[in-house]
């Protein structure tokens, strides 16, 4: 796992995080199916000095789960790769009160996460039930004390 931040101008922050995990069932000498595929998360954030308001554009890029990542003879659904973009904005109303507005999956991509699709067979009639939501919007009001 690698994580890094880069402050390249006043108020601007670039972030990146990459995770890669590999595992083998040593008794069977086969890949562990429970391990999620590699993922890269990158974002570009702007916050006014003092942090009263700001916004962040976040890209999450996940590799596919292929037959080489699964035990021999597995009928497990092989989750395809995905690229998802989210946008988050916030406004500090008072010191303890913050409003956050979010738009998730801006590109309205149909995708699966490994944790939800794990255990489904390749030809399952219910695969579409396990996709993540399309474009959605949310608002949060947070009070910190």
Token pair 């922050």 is found at 13
Does residue 72 surpass a pLDDT of 90?
no
pLDDT attached to residue 3: 97
- Separation between Cα atoms, residue 124 and residue 86, nearest integer Å: 29
pLDDT attached to residue 81: 96
Q: Which residues pair with 13 in a beta bridge?
A: 45
3-state secondary structure of 15: strand
Sign of CA dihedral 101, 63, 117, 115: negative
CB 130 within 8 A of CB 117: yes
Mean pLDDT score, 103-114? 96
pLDDT digits 0-9 by tens, 18-32: 999 988 888 888 888
Instruction: Name the region of 104 (left: φ>0; alpha: ψ -120 to 50; beta: rest).
Output: beta
- Separation between Cα atoms, residue 136 and residue 106, nearest integer Å: 8
Does residue 87 surpass a pLDDT of 90?
yes
pLDDT attached to residue 75: 85
pTM (predicted TM-score): 0.89
pLDDT attached to residue 67: 83
Least confident of 42-51, 103-112, 116-125: 116-125
pLDDT attached to residue 85: 98
Tell me the pLDDT of the chain averaged across its residues. Answer: 93
């Amino acid at each position: 796992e690698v994580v890094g931040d880069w402050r390249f101008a006043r108020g601007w922050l670039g972030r990146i995080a990459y995770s890669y995990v590999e595992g083998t069932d040593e008794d069977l000498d086969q890949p562990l199916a429970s391990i999620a595929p590699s993922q890269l998360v990158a974002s570009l954030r702007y916050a006014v000095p003092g942090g009263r308001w700001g916004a962040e554009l976040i890209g999450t890029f996940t590799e596919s789960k292929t037959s080489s990542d699964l035990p021999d003879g597995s009928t497990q659904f092989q989750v395809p790769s995905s690229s998802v973009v989210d946008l988050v904005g916030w406004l500090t109303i008072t010191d303890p009160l913050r409003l956050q507005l979010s738009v998730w999956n801006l590109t309205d991509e149909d995708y699966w996460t490994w944790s939800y699709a794990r255990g489904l067979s390749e030809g399952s009639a219910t695969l579409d039930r396990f996709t993540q939501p399309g474009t959605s919007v949310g608002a949060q009001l947070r009070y910190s004390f």
